[in-house]
Structure 1
């Protein structure tokens, strides 16, 4: 049976803040087409690990590979713009004074500029308009395209942020605490969006809502004190007594 090359892999990746070891020699792989959940108690190192993957932090040791190419020292904008790693933040990073459509346009222009650089201006405008409409429709915000982003509910702002991430046409979409502040109905809508996104992109989900994690994830990685405590399917993690004692409770 052929071995599948991971989309993303880290090898002994570490990050120290003075005497604090936030991420401790982590070997981590995400495979193409999967929805991978990264869970663990507060302070486990989840966001630090993701910031290392995205290039927002420099590792203290170890290496990071994306599509088989080492990206350990590539800056964040190169990982996002050229490599296809999109990261939606734990705190919404939308432009509140702009419309929903304009927010998505800012993200879409970056990816479309690469794909359509030889087209006429008219064709580029048409492609941008189509991309904005498609991304807003995917997250259920098509009817709010002209609304100022700041006027959206918090849950809809999170969905707008996902639309902005999708507009980058990522190979890897990283969602950091995306359901925080969402109502039950918005969480259900979000889950449908993620399942649809997984048809086109790989998803790395950092999430505390275990119902969401168990419903969406193909595999789960549990971090504890900056190191991997366990990995496996939702069923494996649910049955793991070490994880239950450290995090899930039983």
Structure 2
């Protein structure tokens, strides 16, 4: 595993009135790893990744990506720099075809490459759909697909952006057991070319995929370590995993 820091935060905080949703978090994710972010409901996970993606502004602290301070960079510029975030609530274009949804992301990514052609967009969209297993559905209207397939479409849209960091927020929600198995294989394949930050409640998925697990509780990092370390951590058991 690479040891180069891809993204880091220092004292990152987001307060909503008196609620400290994210409270003074120092966090580092290395290039090439699969990092899982877990914690009980209300722990601040989605707020934290929304801060990383630029969807909301921090109350305090800083964010650095590839050695560059991006604390005040808007979300679309973070996407351009290589941060892709798939939302907890599916964010597809339901009236467009599956292919056109992914082509829009591919077009956005290819703007970074002068001289790109329309055929390049189609090729990149096709490749992303192949990777998530939706190539046979490319002509369907996105909104008519089952929820689990819409989640996979969202992952394809993220992949078409050519991310250096792909943030997946509850990606297995709505997937069947067989689809979850396929998804785990997909994440391992994605990790050969991008760093993955996975926010996930399905603990078998987390334990299977993660190199390192960060546990949030009450907006703060409760623990961090390997899956074995986290499974054995008494504080994590009490706060989240249960002691039984």
1:151 and 2:144 correspond: yes
1-side partners of 2:6 and 2:101: how far apart?
28
1:50 corresponds to which residue?
49
Q: CA deviation at 1:118?
A: 2.5
Distance apart, 1:207 and its partner CA: 0.4
Q: Is 1:225 matched up with 2:218?
A: yes
- Answer yes or no: is the 8 Å Cα contact 1:5–1:67 preserved in 2: no
Shift of 1:113: 1.8
In the alignment, the residues of structure 1 paired with residue 77 and residue 121 of structure 2 have an alpha-carbon distance, to the nearest angstrom, of 21
Please list, as runs of the form range in 1=range in 2, the aligned pairs for 1:14-163 lying within 5 A after superposition: 14-81=13-80, 83-115=81-113, 117-119=114-116, 124-163=117-156
Question: What secondary structure does 1:213 align onto?
Answer: helix
1:195 matches 2:188: yes
Name the counterpart of 1:214: 207
Q: Deviations over 1:4-28 (max 9, x none)?
A: 3310000010111011111110000
Gaps in structure 1 of 5+ consecutive residues: none
Residues 5 and 68 in structure 1, CA contact (< 8 A), matched pair in contact too: no
Shift of 1:192: 1.0
Native 8 Å contact 1:8 1:31 kept in 2: yes
Runs of 4+ deviating beyond 6 Å: none
Instruction: Using the TM superposition, give the Cα deviation of residue 195 of structure 1 relative to its aligned residue in structure 2, in angstroms.
Output: 0.7
Distance 1:118 1:167 in 2: 18
Which of 144, 152, 164 is 2:157 aligned to?
Answer: 164
- CA RMSD in angstroms comes to 1.0
1:86-106 Cα shifts (integer Å, max 9, x gaps): 000001001111111000001
Aligned length: 242
Contact kept? 1:88, 1:175, Cα under 8 Å? yes
Instruction: Tell me the distance in 2 between the aligned counterparts of 1:4 and 1:211.
Output: 26
Give the gaps of 5 or more residues in structure 2: none
Q: Give the secondary-structure state (helix, strand or coil) at the position aligned to 1:228.
A: strand
In structure 1, distance between residues paired with 2:140 and 2:61: 45
2:170 to 177, 180, 187: 177
Q: CA deviation at 1:191?
A: 0.8
Q: TM-score, normalised by structure 1?
A: 0.95
